[in-house]
Structure 1
């Protein structure tokens, strides 16, 4: 890339967004980042910051106008906000981004959704882009609606590609990554979860985002996944590679499923949603949510590396920060 190639990144201060910005800068892009006034912009020197949010129309218009690629990563989950806010940010916020792109001089939009809008059908081991699932919870519903709007944008004169990362692992992630490492390293974490998931390194997802921009077909969706592992397999491999103490007891699936109705009842009594957890989400947490990235591999040249390849950098961050 040359310095004349410009990207706009929403969610630029987040876990994935900051990794993407670092890579874009290293590759010679000019990078514009959207940041709320209170967000920690870290060490992202070289980013031109546009201070505002997804509902600041003037800032959004300035952010995207004249760029080669808009990487729309901004979003929020149920651990951070209630269902109404989650839906507003993820769905309505995407609508604002798309409107800014329509009104401005914009090249391609690369939208980062979630693998959660797809699930393995009954009897199948893995899901692909065609396995569209009924959304569970406000987060999946908001992302599904955002995908619909991006598809419509691509079909009506825009240029857009949607990617679906699976469970992202890497330095800087204090949620999934920190929890998984604790299960593989810490004697104080005796139990691991049932079920399994597709674990992908953050650097591999960044590669996938850039490949989607360069090679993706307008209007298409691409799963950016990694290794399909049960939690037991993942924590044992982490422990073996990092000389840790793996959790040895599996939390019973019935215990997790029973917690769903309890969370629902607590929320009903309090009159607010106290936990981002209900019986449907509890059932989902016990399943093996495995995915295939064959389409991205075939059409984009996407590749992912094994879990162990991402451990040295991630472990250094974990020991220092967590």
Structure 2
């Protein structure tokens, strides 16, 4: 039997959509009952109503050991998709608790229950930092503990350390590091903010660069890695390195809305995150723009996908076609 943690998130839900095509025994975890509807809506969107009924749902927070023990009964393969994404410094403790301690719990139960393989969904945020002579980030780029990282990046790096600790203790592991993932069904959270913000007439764009990938490519690669027993390795999943301007303009064009007219310069974002901190501190509200996010929007990173492309001779779907697909499905 296969266990998918975080079955109500973007990656987990789409993974379930693909896994159920093969009529395998699938179990998925969720935290709140109403969140299951998001996954069900995704199956309805793809007209896969019958497949959804094949999933066995278990309520289990990844820090709730007794609940997890029940979820792990009879499990042979685990896809660990559950995690917290936040760039609000106020969420540091939650990030460590969920991403590091939660992953440690998953690893420990995999070892205790003699699970055959674990596929852990990490992030490009957990990849290393370029040395002066390096031009692109790969799976082997070294993490510099003295460099500035967001709390989210640190938590995902810490989660990976727990996975590699599991490998040293005899667990067969696979780690994937996706870029910013685009996919239908989850516009109200995570990367869906790109689409909702542009739809609401986002006034600014930035020229920072990072890696993007479509959700279908992510889950297909995860399944192939598990089926081919490619253990003890990590794989960066990035279709293209694009500027935020290119992505935002492409979304605007497909939504048929006005493209942002002004570039947000680094000095503007520097002022913006400080103002956001002030308002969040004195009005007791969530941060909308952190220092890390402001820097990321204007920094440029080139991330290599050569390893996974070579391993499977894999051709990624272009981000332009991913954006068109996402908007087309959401409009139906």
User: Same fold judged by TM-score > 0.5?
Assistant: yes
- The correspondence of residues 12-161 of structure 1 with structure 2, limited to 5 A, is 12-42=7-37, 43=40, 44-78=52-86, 82-118=91-127, 121=130, 122=132, 124-133=134-143, 134=145, 136-161=149-174
Distance between the aligned counterparts of 2:19 and 2:65, measured in 1?
A: 25
SS at 1:218's partner residue?
coil
Q: With structure 1 as the length reference, what TM-score do the two structures score?
A: 0.86
Give 1:290's match in structure 2, choosing from 292, 302, 308.
Answer: 302
Distance between the aligned counterparts of 1:19 and 1:197, measured in 2?
A: 23
- Give CA deviations for 1:174-219 in whole Å, capped at 9, x if unaligned: 24543333566x4722321231221111111111211221235432
SS at 1:83's partner residue?
helix
Verify the 8 A CA contact 1:193 1:286 in the aligned structure 2: yes
Task: State the Cα distance separating 1:162 from its structure 2 match.
Answer: 0.8
Distance between the aligned counterparts of 2:270 and 2:229, measured in 1?
A: 39
Residue 177 (structure 2) pairs with residue 164 (structure 1): yes
Distance between the aligned counterparts of 1:311 and 1:37, measured in 2?
A: 29
Task: State the Cα distance separating 1:150 from its structure 2 match.
Answer: 0.5
* Aligned residue number for residue 3 of structure 1: none
Query: Which moved further from structure 2: 116-125 or 148-157?
Result: 116-125
Quick one: structure 1 residues 254 and 215, their matched pair in 2 at CA, closer, same or farther if it must change by over 3 Å?
farther
Task: Give unpaired runs (5+ residues) of structure 2.
Answer: 41-51
Verify the 8 A CA contact 1:183 1:235 in the aligned structure 2: no
Verify the 8 A CA contact 1:119 1:289 in the aligned structure 2: no
Q: With structure 2 as the length reference, what TM-score do the two structures score?
A: 0.84
Give 2:194's match in structure 1, choosing from 173, 180, 183.
Answer: 180
Give 1:192's match in structure 2, choosing from 187, 205, 208.
Answer: 205
Quick one: structure 1 residues 269 and 243, their matched pair in 2 at CA, closer, same or farther if it must change by over 3 Å?
closer
Verify the 8 A CA contact 2:87 2:152 in the aligned structure 1: no
Distance between the aligned counterparts of 2:256 and 2:136, measured in 1?
A: 31
Residue 307 (structure 2) pairs with residue 307 (structure 1): no
Quick one: structure 1 residues 282 and 252, their matched pair in 2 at CA, closer, same or farther if it must change by over 3 Å?
same
Distance between the aligned counterparts of 2:34 and 2:139, measured in 1?
A: 33
Query: Which moved further from structure 2: 69-78 or 272-281?
Result: 272-281
Distance between the aligned counterparts of 1:283 and 1:311, measured in 2?
A: 25
Distance between the aligned counterparts of 1:93 and 1:187, measured in 2?
A: 35
Distance between the aligned counterparts of 1:105 and 1:150, measured in 2?
A: 15
Q: CA RMSD in A?
A: 2.6
